[in-house]
Structure 1
Amino acid sequence: MDPVIVVGAGPVGLTLSLALGAQGVPCVLLDEGPGTEEVRLARTVVLREDTADLVERLGAADLEKDGLRWSGWRSMRRKQLVREVPLGAGSEGSHDAGGSGDVHDFGDAGGSDVQGGPSLPAPLHIPQHALASALRAAVAAAPLVKLVPLSRIDTLEQDRDGVTVHTKGPGTTWWRGSYLVGCDGARSTVRKLLDIRFPGRTAVERHAVAALRADLPWPGEAVLHRQPPWRGGGAEVGARPLPDGIWRLDWLLPPSGELVTPDALITRIRDTLAGWCGETPPYELLDTGVHTLHHRLARRWRVQRAFLAGDAAHLLGALGTQGLDEGIRDAENLAWKLAHAWHHRGGDLLLDSYQAERRAAVAARLRAADQSLPILRGGGGLRTLVPGTVRGHDTLLADGHLGRGALGAPPSYSHSPLAPPHAEAHTTVGTPPGAPVADVRVTAPDGTAVRLRERLGQGHPLVILVAPGTGVWDRRHWLTAGIMPRLVEAVDALPSPAELLVTESYPGASAHTVLLVRPDGHLVAAFAGVRPAELFAAARAALGAAPGAGGGENGETGENGDDERGPARAPGPRERVHADRSARIN
């Protein structure tokens, strides 16, 4: 088959191309720009644990070393005291805004610690150009991804077998692909060529932003200060740490469209630093900007063989919701589905599930932000919802930043069209069906113990047996003991190749529970023991089989003659088409 064409080489397009390449699908990545990143320290991104893991797993190395995970989140408000805040995991002692570890009167300001809890690691905060550069380096080393700079599409045509696009640029030409994904941003050319509406709200929030190097009283912590008492502080100001002593400061601007002049911004910086530190400390101003946040959602995310992802499909960002985080989740969700369709020549139901799952998840995030905005910005109504608590403000504001609740937590696809019908063999574990699985330690096929997340993104489902005590056995013995031979046989009979893993324990699961997990890490179903027929039915549903169909994924025998069990195996590395082959139409 022809390669997949990805339009747009921002972080989402780069992530999608790498994810497809990792699953044996050749890609042509059309980059409108010159293939380099502009250094802008005031333009940063926040990655949750799951999205940071994904991009690092795809080869964007050293993000953890170059970035910074917040050790806490401090929410400050007027006429309160700044109290002790525990340091990050593994640290000794505690500290406060004054650095002494004691209660410290911060004049007219104060705060409370808002933590994500031990089960919710702090997010990673890095400059966007650092993320994009790391992903570009990974693309340069990926044999199945071909990046073409200075290529702007102006024509898109589809037929039964593929997609044809024309690009303008030094290498003006036509390109042929099996599928196409528009990751080309808020002003997406792909979306316009597909005639997809993009309704929503304009200028939901405006922020003045500055990146500066300074010593602030909360190393490694993010600060959110509501109603600061100094003149010109505005309704809200935040500070997020970056590497090398750099901070990003954000001031929430009034909705009236106030002009932010350079002099006005310098005054904001000095007043804010003085308000936090008692006097304005030495600082080095590195970058500034004004960001306007919009909320929009494309009506359709799929038109035949063309798809939208990232900012081309949705815009969000108010109250700390992270549009890039959602775009990377788009890429992870779509990659394994496109890979399965590319290798096995089918899957309309599977491909349709991308829009059903991801559009619903982003729409829920937008609704939660829109419902919270009047409470937090309008000044009224909060007591009706959260009687007598100021912490209600803190919690709502922190949810989007910390990655929890309706504003920030990883999505659950509980109502997915890929969810199997309930069966008596299903059992309940700590993860609901459709939610991301817990990142437990598992034993891989080669006998090594790894994190479960390290086995994701390889294009095949995972089957996990909960077997206490196997960690102390030699793998050669427990593979042939107890229920393992029957489970191995059941996994071999699944409609798509799957990987069998073993774990000592899983939250809420009893011994001999069997979990079926999608390639993107969402739970399909859990079974009480080895249930081959039910496991097979659940795997077929998760791969987009029509209900009640007796043949392949769409109820028919595939073009390659496979029966309902699908191909005997996925193509190996030597069988995959190399991306260096030309995708051009001459």
Structure 2
Amino acid sequence: MDPVIIVGAGPVGLTLALALARQEVPSVVLDEGPGTDEQRLARTVVLREDTAALLGRLTGFPVAGAGFRWAGWRSMRRRQVMRQITFGEDDPALLHLPQHTLTAALRKAIAAEPLVELAVESRLDSVEQEPAGVTAHTRGPHGTWWRGSHLVGCDGPRSTVRKLQDIRFPGRTAVERHAVAALRTELPWPGEAVLHRMPPWRSSGPAVTEVTARPLAEDVWRLDWLLPPGRDLVTPDLLVARVRETLAGWCGGTTPPYELLDTGVHTVHHRLARRWRAGRVFLAGDAAHLLGALGTQGLDEGLRDADNLAWKLALAWHHGPHEALLDSYQEERRAVVAARLRAADQALPVLRGGGLRSAVPGAARSHDTLLTDGHLGRGVLGAPGAYADSPLTPAHTDSSVEVDTAVGAQVSDVRVTAEDGSSVALRERLGRGALLVLLIAPGTVVWERKHWVTAGIMPRLAAAVTALPHRAELLVAESYPGAAAHTVLLIRPDGHLVTALGGVRPADLYEAAEAALGGPLTTAETASSRT
């Protein structure tokens, strides 16, 4: 069968290719560049724990070791510390790393993956669809035609794929602009990320209303200054003045020694593609959405796009088309990103508008909470979305029970015992294309697997798992947040909870698994899968 064609060799496209390969699906990645990436320390990414774990699984590279985990977070307004957070085991820190470091790790993994072909200097210029597949043409030194089962546009904000499919991309341009500098220096808060609003020092240019400092490894910091509305040119002299004034303001009036490593201007746009699927063509990452104001991380969402789409494309590639399952990619991911964009657009006038609203008692702390949520991946501005209204959600039954994870949300990363008897983190079993069935069985950790695998309800549950309409892996956990003993969790390949059942209910488990796969195949789909 033809490979999946992926247009764009940025982090999202490369992640999707590796995620498909992990599920034994070949792909061709069309890279319009030479196959290398410019090293820019002013261009960094912030990843939550689950997306960092996803990349670690796919690359086999210790992504966490290549980045920097913040020791804490500090919010300031004028001279007052508004909020201070110390990260620990119960409150994991975000991971901050240069984007070129991440892309290099992905490219290295791609080079060792026989199921992925990377075609450099290949710029897409046409796409043709037919019932059996997709044909794409590229121009360049080795311009040619490519044949694929599906095509995914991960080709950024100016997506050629999106334009060729005539998909509108409405939204707002230049919602915010930030001047950016990467420098090596020592600040008073080693390892802490800092958000400083209305800093008290005088500025030689327009007044600074907000500056953020995010630490990287080896005493490198990324500093972002929120620019006033308009398109005024950010000159090198102005940027150096910003650096010196900010460092002096934070270090008692004297500018400490620093080494300026990189500079830039980061412009935030808010846009959302009308459609993320057009037949056998899909959009992901910046080709499908642009967001980033108030600390939200566009790449983090793009990686979730790839994780969501990979297992659905893999199932269609191996077993034939299932339209409801493929449609659910747009319905789930677009709804989550749209909700975040709405939240950011509603918060922006409050945070940036000033006037009487800023003088209301308690407003400063309320604003700080919104900004902190966005920067730290929490609340409506930053937390990962749950697919609460997903078409893949099964109907509630008498055996359904509640746990601390809502249906459609990501499961907690508990320790589990796998079928081979090994004890691993639950996240390590994700992304393999299989459904996960997790039994909560207190006490099993103290016994060897051979003693409990044939005891109690295990044989009946194992038989039910074998009979499911799709490959599934049976796992056992000592405990799970909010779950009673003998609770059975059904988990999608991307780690989202399908349902929780009280005990072994084979019929209910089967129906939930079928729903998670998009429902039963239609007659036409069944016939197509046999050809």
The residue matched to 2:173 in structure 1 has which SS?
Answer: strand
Residues 44 and 512 (structure 1 numbering): CA distance in 2 closer, same or farther, change over 3 Å? same
The residue matched to 1:211 in structure 2 has which SS?
Answer: strand
The residue matched to 1:260 in structure 2 has which SS?
Answer: coil
1:253-264 equivalences in 2 (<5 Å) = 253-264=227-238
Partner of 1:275: 249
Partners of 1:561 and 1:310 in 2: how far apart?
33
Residue of 324, 329, 350 corresponding to 1:375: 350
Partner of 2:71: 71
Partner of 1:91: none
Deviations 1:50-69 (A, max 9, x none): 11110111015122112101
Residue of 476, 488, 499 corresponding to 1:514: 488
User: 1:111 offset after TM fit, Å?
Assistant: 4.5
Return the letter of the residue paired with 2:462. Answer: V
The residue matched to 1:521 in structure 2 has which SS?
Answer: coil
Q: Does 1:51 align with 2:51?
A: yes
Partner of 1:578: none
1:203-242 equivalences in 2 (<5 Å) = 203-232=174-203, 234-242=208-216
Q: Does 1:543 align with 2:512?
A: no
Return the letter of the residue paired with 2:122. Answer: S
Partner of 1:335: 310
Q: Does 1:8 align with 2:8?
A: yes
User: 1:383 offset after TM fit, Å?
Assistant: 6.9
Residue of 431, 454, 478 corresponding to 1:480: 454
Q: Does 1:187 align with 2:158?
A: yes
Residue of 542, 557, 572 corresponding to 2:526: 557
User: 1:388 offset after TM fit, Å?
Assistant: 2.3
Partner of 1:107: none
The residue matched to 2:317 in structure 1 has which SS?
Answer: helix
Q: Is the 8 A contact 2:82 2:368 kept in 1?
A: no
Partner of 1:99: none
Partner of 1:425: 399
Partners of 1:166 and 1:53 in 2: how far apart?
35
Return the letter of the residue paired with 2:219. Answer: G
Partner of 2:106: 135
1:31-180 equivalences in 2 (<5 Å) = 31-59=31-59, 61-80=61-80, 110-114=81-85, 119-180=90-151
1:491-506 equivalences in 2 (<5 Å) = 491-506=465-480
Partner of 1:401: 375
User: 1:120 offset after TM fit, Å?
Assistant: 3.6
The farther-off stretch of 47-56 and 118-127 is: 118-127
Partner of 2:326: 351
Q: Is the 8 A contact 1:60 1:137 kept in 2?
A: no
TM-score by length of 1: 0.88
Partners of 1:354 and 1:485 in 2: how far apart?
35
The residue matched to 1:288 in structure 2 has which SS?
Answer: strand
Residues 529 and 558 (structure 1 numbering): CA distance in 2 closer, same or farther, change over 3 Å? farther
Deviations 1:115-170 (A, max 9, x none): 67754411101001000001100111111111010000101000001000000011
Deviations 1:443-484 (A, max 9, x none): 011101100000000001000000000011111121100000
Residue of 404, 417, 437 corresponding to 1:463: 437
Deviations 1:503-537 (A, max 9, x none): 00011110000000000000000000000000000
Residues 60 and 310 (structure 1 numbering): CA distance in 2 closer, same or farther, change over 3 Å? farther
Q: Is the 8 A contact 1:544 1:553 kept in 2?
A: no
Residues 477 and 37 (structure 1 numbering): CA distance in 2 closer, same or farther, change over 3 Å? same
Q: Is the 8 A contact 1:27 1:146 kept in 2?
A: yes
Residue of 381, 386, 410 corresponding to 1:412: 386
User: 1:291 offset after TM fit, Å?
Assistant: 1.1
Residue of 441, 457, 470 corresponding to 2:415: 441
The residue matched to 2:218 in structure 1 has which SS?
Answer: coil
1:308-327 equivalences in 2 (<5 Å) = 308-327=283-302
Q: Does 1:199 align with 2:170?
A: yes
The residue matched to 2:15 in structure 1 has which SS?
Answer: helix
Partners of 1:227 and 1:60 in 2: how far apart?
43
Residue of 261, 264, 267 corresponding to 1:289: 264
The residue matched to 1:516 in structure 2 has which SS?
Answer: strand
Residues 261 and 383 (structure 1 numbering): CA distance in 2 closer, same or farther, change over 3 Å? closer
Deviations 1:221-270 (A, max 9, x none): 10000001112251100100011110000000001222211111111000
User: 1:114 offset after TM fit, Å?
Assistant: 4.2
Partners of 1:172 and 1:26 in 2: how far apart?
21
Partner of 1:360: 335
The farther-off stretch of 537-546 and 206-215 is: 537-546
Partners of 1:27 and 1:381 in 2: how far apart?
55
Q: Does 1:530 align with 2:499?
A: no
Return the letter of the residue paired with 1:224. Answer: L
Aligned length: 527
The residue matched to 1:58 in structure 2 has which SS?
Answer: helix
Return the letter of the residue paired with 1:140. Answer: A
Residues 477 and 554 (structure 1 numbering): CA distance in 2 closer, same or farther, change over 3 Å? farther
Partners of 1:553 and 1:344 in 2: how far apart?
13
Return the letter of the residue paired with 2:189. Answer: W
Deviations 1:60-102 (A, max 9, x none): 512211210111110011142xxxxxxxxxxxxxxxxxxxxxx
Return the letter of the residue paired with 1:34. Answer: P
Deviations 1:11-63 (A, max 9, x none): 00000000000001000000010000100000011111111110111015122
Partners of 1:430 and 1:484 in 2: how far apart?
24
Between the two proteins, what is the percent identity of the paired residues? 70
Structure with the higher helix share, 1 or 2: 2
Q: Is the 8 A contact 2:82 2:365 kept in 1?
A: no
User: 1:4 offset after TM fit, Å?
Assistant: 0.2
Return the letter of the residue paired with 1:323. Answer: G
Q: Is the 8 A contact 2:437 2:472 kept in 1?
A: yes
Q: Is the 8 A contact 2:321 2:525 kept in 1?
A: no
TM-score by length of 2: 0.97
Partner of 1:569: none
Partners of 2:493 and 2:397 in 1: how far apart?
22
Q: Is the 8 A contact 1:375 1:381 kept in 2?
A: no
CA RMSD in angstroms comes to 1.6
Deviations 1:287-314 (A, max 9, x none): 0001111000000000000000000000
Residues 311 and 31 (structure 1 numbering): CA distance in 2 closer, same or farther, change over 3 Å? same
Partners of 2:258 and 2:449 in 1: how far apart?
58
The residue matched to 1:425 in structure 2 has which SS?
Answer: coil
The farther-off stretch of 537-546 and 18-27 is: 537-546
Partners of 1:494 and 1:381 in 2: how far apart?
60
